Amino acid sequence: MIWDEFLRHFCFCDEEDSGLSDEEQERKGPKKSPKAHTKTDTSSQEKLFGEIQNSFLFFLLLVIFSTSAFAQKVEHGVLVGRGIGFPMQDSKQLIPPTNELRYDHNLKGNGMIGYRLRFLPQRKHFFDLDLTIGFQGMSTQKYVPFLSKQDGTYTGNEGDEFSEFVMPISIAASWNYRITGKFFFGLGVAPTLYVRPQAVFDLPVLAKIGYRIGKHCELALSYQYGCLDVLKHFNKGAANGRKGHLSDLMLSVYVPF
């Protein structure tokens, strides 16, 4: 009897639980679920945060190690210079009569400022990478040497004279060799973009000799010869007789940090 009553009571309670409405079961069932999910989510977030933290520390140590190792092989500093330019004009001979113009260029003193990266500075062979911007004035006389024929002779037109501001931006790469502990010479190229008076590209070759005065000072004398005909592009329109290359001789001071 007692056993039968217990079974009937157990079944009755089970039926009452199973007879709950969906809304009541939803209120009753999820009580433990959010806690479990919250605990699981928190654990996942902590694990992910730990992995990110470890990765960041590893990356930071790698950057510090790489920078310190790279700094031992690279020297860098400010570069300034003063020089003079030489216009290598086209020497084509004009046959009269002609209306083609002639140009006489006179480059004034130029200046330069930039930044240098020197790779393998402690070795006998080292490399320089210079990013520079230059400033230079140029006066030009434009004229027609043979304009017309008068009384069996040709007369010329004096033309006009004007000034131009030349601004080259270049990235010079050079290979250098130490002759002694302080003297060295170098050869390289200096791709150059003239942004004024007109946008023109040039590819000069360069040669230089230098002397290291001290830890934070170096003098160098360099010569650059432009391989491309840039003068014909300095006109706003057609060259109309304006042709030639640009070159310069410059004394520079390098101040490494």
On whether the pTM is more than 0.75, the answer is: no
CATH architecture of 75-256: Beta Barrel (2.40)
Residue 88 confidence (pLDDT): 76
The residues, any chain, with a CB within 8 Å of residue 125's CB and separated by 6 or more, are: 175, 176, 177, 178
Q: What type of residue sits at position 196?
A: R
95, 97, 99, 105: CA torsion to nearest 10: 50
Q: 10-residue block means of pLDDT along the chain (257 residues)?
A: 49 46 51 50 60 62 54 86 84 58 82 96 95 92 66 60 91 96 96 93 97 95 94 79 88 96
Distance CA 211, CA 220 (A): 6
Structure tokens at 170: 């270049």
Structure tokens at 204: 């000069």
Distance CA 173, CA 191 (A): 9
What DSSP assignment string belongs to 141-200? Answer: EEEEEEEEEETTEEEEEEEEEEEEEEEEEEEEEEEEEESSSSEEEEEEE--EEEEESS-E
Enumerate the domain spans of the chain: 2-68, 75-256
